[in-house]
Amino acid sequence: MSFLFWLPLGLTIAPLVLLFTERGMTLVAVAGFFAAHALTAAALELPTGGLSDVIGRRPVLAAAGLLNLAALTLLGLGTAAWVLTLGMVLMGAARALSSGPAESWYVDTVQAQSGPDAELRAGLARGSAASSAALAVGTLLGGALPWLLGLVPGLGTDLRTYTSGLVLLLSVPALLGVVVELVFVLYVLGSLPEPSRAQATPRGVLRGVPATIADGLRLGTRDVLIRRILLSAGAAGTALATIELLTPGRAAELTGAADSGAVLFAGLASAGFVCSALGSHLAPFVARLAGSGERAVLTGLAAGATGLLLLGATVTSSGAVPVALAAGGYGLVYLGLGAAGPSESELLHRRVGASGRATALSVQSLSLQLVGAAAGLAVGVLPAGPLPWLLGAVALLVGALLWTRGAAPADEPRERRPAVEAASPASLAG
């Protein structure tokens, strides 16, 4: 399921900006499209998480798939700025809807079958690895497909002619994503059993979503461990914003041209997702080796910080050795974050009940996005050189240091956490 959801989005990573510019959009307009996506996702994170906790995981996941299907259709065929903006807004809404229900469904199902103490880390690691693998495959396929189709004589011209300019070679990855999204929606509706819950009424939804959101916002103030998870998400957002903003320029410098730099960046992005998938796959092993989930998070964040330090230390150097160190640092960032993620997720799920699970994940996602956006602005105004890379490294080091001290046991009695459980579906159905 995770693979099916993220594959269509991976297909758009490499060609999307080029598709926009091919449609005649300026860079300012392209920046506006992405801003519309980010603002929509941030604004809807908590409401959609609360909605999933109240009405169930399956309808929210299906809605996310349908919105992505509509968004990819508009992006693949749209020629006007307002159509492309609407496509990015719908994709942002789908992103918000998806950030929690799938993982919450998995945890709900496992705990319903095996009890609240069921082992979660291995399954969470497999889901995270599948998501990263889908992004890696999608990035490579989305970048290569227009180029491969362009090798067919006259195909690009024929597509433009017979579709009145609606379909370009760069549109094909997005339209392929539409097909995958349709498969995803059918899978969710037909093959995703959900543990039984009280049927929600319109009145219950209207009362329950705000209450669940309020509980989610209070999570970090009541529980030290959850506060660490949210702060670590912000540190990860800073690191990702740093590496995603600075790597394309670094790639262009290495190749000597923007076009070849874009190809190199597509390859690096795919390699980064592969490293993230590998880190997620290794997360249970890292936790066993480190001795606990908390130490595994510390290890993963410290590894990511080391990778960013390597990138910063080699930014002004040239030659095979610095480039190799930079490539190793790039992979280490994603490997470390991938290894830390499943352990953080397991710790979070041990702290919250089913009625607030998707909301907690939305709060975590919101922390990553908002802090990452602020960090991106900071990176943009810092002078070129090692300093911007150092910002991301320091953020991850601070995040790692949060885990050097122990927290309260994860299996504390639920009656000590009444606010998370108060908004249960049963209490809201009436």
Domain that holds residue 370: 2-193+200-405
Average pLDDT over residues 68-75: 96
In whole angstroms, what is the distance from residue 280 CA to residue 290 CA? 15
Asked which of 257-271, 285-299, 367-381, 414-428 is least confident by mean pLDDT, the reply is: 414-428
Label residue 233 exposed, middle or buried (CB < 10 Å: 0-12, 13-18, 19+).
buried
In whole angstroms, what is the distance from residue 337 CA to residue 303 CA? 8
pLDDT of residue 260: 60
Torsional sign, CA 39, 40, 46, 47: positive
Nearest 5°: the CA angle 326, 306, 226 is: 135
Is residue 430 included in any domain, yes or no? no
Q: Where is mean pLDDT largest: 17-26, 197-206, 212-221, 412-421? A: 17-26
In whole angstroms, what is the distance from residue 289 CA to residue 301 CA? 15
Is residue 427 included in any domain, yes or no? no
Is residue 71 included in any domain, yes or no? yes
Is residue 59 included in any domain, yes or no? yes
Nearest 5°: the CA angle 322, 138, 53 is: 110
In whole angstroms, what is the distance from residue 148 CA to residue 152 CA? 8
- Considering only residues 180 and 384, tell me which one the structure prediction assigns the higher pLDDT: 180
Average pLDDT over residues 279-288: 90
Question: How large a percentage of the chain has pLDDT more than 90?
Answer: 25
Query: For residue 186, which phi and psi values (nearest 5 degrees)?
Result: -65, -35
Is residue 215 included in any domain, yes or no? yes
State the CATH number of the domain containing residue 350: 1.20.1250.20
What is each CA distance from 307 to 171, 285, 317, 319, 404, in whole angstroms? Answer: 35, 20, 16, 18, 20
Identify the band that residue 20 occupies on the pLDDT scale cut at 50, 70 and 90.
Answer: confident
Q: What is the mean pLDDT of the chain?
A: 80
Is residue 428 included in any domain, yes or no? no
Tell me 20's DSSP state: H
Q: What DSSP string describes 275-313?
A: HHHHHHHHHHHHHHHHSSHHHHHHHHHHHHHHHHHHHHH
Give yes or no for residue 253 having a pLDDT over 60.
yes
**Count of domains in the chain?**
1
Average pLDDT over residues 61-73: 94
What is each CA distance from 403 to 140, 157, 229, 238, 344, in whole angstroms? Answer: 36, 57, 9, 18, 11
Contact 174, 75 (CB under 8 A): yes
Other C-beta atoms closer than 10 Å to the C-beta of 388 total 22
- Considering only residues 372 and 138, tell me which one the structure prediction assigns the higher pLDDT: 138
- Considering only residues 383 and 330, tell me which one the structure prediction assigns the higher pLDDT: 330
Give yes or no for residue 101 having a pLDDT over 50.
yes
In whole angstroms, what is the distance from residue 107 CA to residue 114 CA? 10
Nearest 5°: the CA angle 285, 102, 90 is: 130
Condensed to tens digits (0 to 9), the pLDDT of residues 336-379 reads 999 998 889 888 888 877 666 767 777 787 788 778 878 877 87
Contact 312, 372 (CB under 8 A): no
pLDDT of residue 412: 43
Contact 189, 58 (CB under 8 A): yes
Asked which of 47-61, 190-204, 273-287, 416-430 is least confident by mean pLDDT, the reply is: 416-430
Is residue 307 included in any domain, yes or no? yes
HSE (CB half, 13 Å, CA atoms) of 428?
28
In whole angstroms, what is the distance from residue 276 CA to residue 340 CA? 10
Q: Which residue has the tokens 């209070």?
A: 218
Nearest 5°: the CA angle 361, 14, 154 is: 145
Identify the band that residue 296 occupies on the pLDDT scale cut at 50, 70 and 90.
Answer: very high
